[in-house]
């Protein structure tokens, strides 16, 4: 009997240590809210990997005069790591397949790596260290010119619309506020981009992206999310010539379903529906279909 008691007393600490090593992200941050990439609660040592696939497109111009149709399938590969409880470092690498068809029915197609984005999110305020209800953060980062110049079979450079990125350094600065209130959570964020001149002397217009979102989670395994996503973009510039096509404002209504089929796994299914279009140049955005998977290691 004393042998069994001794063995049990030695095994108990090992069991407890093993349980801590396998602690899930919910246990570590103290909040069971299902979150998409970039909206999670921080804690030191958190490592999150994610992939997001989006199908989108747009038509611009008059069909019989200067019409252009762009279609793209894009997969973003992302990683985020928190070396400190108040700091998240992230990187996103897009892999894209794009086709462009103009009024003459000429078709350009290409695929490859787009422009990578790296950022640091600093949490300046949290109402408490564990299981915070309110978080306020600042995002600082840049897009990198990682996309290569695409060419056709004869070696001719494809048009700028067919390229997978601008090939420029684009600094970004953003603010975000997140509230976790029981079954409900809320997000408000705004991020501004200031592009520099890139491929063929092209410089995209300054842009502001914003999100207002509310999420209801009645169960541990699923949640419903509704967001309003906005975009305001200024005029672009090509080799010193201003171009207003594509500038203006755009508003999306964005419903999502979040599912957790296993511990530390979040699947997000959603659509972005353009409900208000004030883009110049007769630009018509299509709905964006997307599916995402996030996993905490």
pLDDT tens digits for range 98-110: 999 988 888 999 9
Based on the number of CB atoms within 10 Å of its own CB, is 212 exposed (0-12), middle (13-18) or buried (19 or more)? middle
CA 90, CA 49: separation in Å to the nearest integer? 10
Q: Which of residues 178 and 63 earns the better pLDDT score?
A: 178
> What pLDDT is stored for residue 61 in this prediction?
84
Structure confidence at residue 250 as a pLDDT band (50, 70, 90): very high
CATH number of 2-296: 2.40.160.40
End-to-end alpha carbon distance in the chain = 41
CA 161, CA 103: separation in Å to the nearest integer? 14
CA 227, CA 252: separation in Å to the nearest integer? 8
**Phi, psi of 29, rounded to the nearest 5 degrees:** -100, -15
Structure confidence at residue 23 as a pLDDT band (50, 70, 90): low
Query: Is the pLDDT confidence value at 225 over 70?
Result: yes
Q: pLDDT tens, 207-223?
A: 999 999 999 999 999 99
Identity of the highest mean pLDDT range in 5-14, 31-40, 58-67, 77-86: 77-86
Every domain of the chain and the residues it spans? 2-296
CA 110, CA 160: separation in Å to the nearest integer? 12
Query: Is the pLDDT confidence value at 95 over 80?
Result: yes
> What pLDDT is stored for residue 31 in this prediction?
86
Rg (CA), the chain: 23
Structure confidence at residue 129 as a pLDDT band (50, 70, 90): confident
Query: What is the overall mean pLDDT for the chain?
Result: 90
Mean pLDDT of 168-172: 96
For 215-220, which contacts have Cβ atoms below 8 Å and span 24 or more sequence positions?
215/33, 215/34, 215/184, 215/185, 215/186, 215/187, 215/258, 216/183, 216/184, 217/32, 217/33, 217/34, 217/183, 217/184, 217/185, 217/258, 218/183, 220/32, 220/260
Q: What is the 3-class SS of 160-187, one letter each residue?
A: HHHCCCCCCCEEEEEEEEEEEECCEEEE
CA 142, CA 285: separation in Å to the nearest integer? 25
């Amino acid at each position: 009997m004393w042998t069994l008691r001794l063995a049990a007393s030695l095994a108990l600490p090992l069991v407890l240590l093993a349980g801590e090593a396998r602690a899930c992200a919910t246990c570590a941050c103290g909040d069971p809210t299902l979150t998409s990439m970039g909206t999670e609660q921080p804690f030191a040592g958190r490592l999150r990997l994610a992939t997001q696939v989006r199908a989108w497109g747009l038509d611009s111009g008059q069909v019989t005069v200067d019409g252009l149709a762009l279609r793209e399938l894009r997969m973003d590969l992302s990683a985020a790591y928190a070396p400190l409880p108040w700091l998240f470092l992230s990187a996103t690498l897009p892999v894209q397949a794009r086709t462009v068809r103009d009024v003459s029915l000429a078709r350009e197609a290409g695929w490859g790596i787009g422009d990578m984005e790296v950022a640091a999110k600093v949490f300046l305020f949290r109402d408490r260290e564990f299981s915070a209800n309110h978080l306020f953060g600042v995002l600082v980062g840049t897009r990198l010119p990682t996309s290569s110049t695409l060419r056709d079979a004869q070696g001719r450079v494809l048009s700028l619309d067919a390229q997978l990125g601008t090939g420029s350094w684009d600094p970004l600065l953003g603010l975000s506020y997140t509230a976790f209130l029981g079954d409900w959570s809320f997000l408000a964020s705004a991020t501004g981009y200031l592009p520099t001149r890139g491929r063929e002397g092209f410089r995209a217009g300054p842009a502001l992206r914003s999100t207002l979102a509310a999420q209801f989670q009645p169960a541990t395994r699923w949640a419903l999310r509704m967001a309003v996503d906005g975009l305001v973009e200024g005029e672009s510039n090509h080799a010193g010539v201003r171009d207003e096509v594509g500038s203006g404002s755009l508003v999306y209504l964005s419903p999502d379903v979040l599912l957790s089929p296993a511990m530390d796994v979040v699947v997000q299914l959603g659509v972005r529906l353009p409900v208000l279009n004030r883009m110049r140049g007769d630009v018509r955005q299509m709905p964006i279909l997307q599916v995402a998977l996030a996993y905490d290691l």
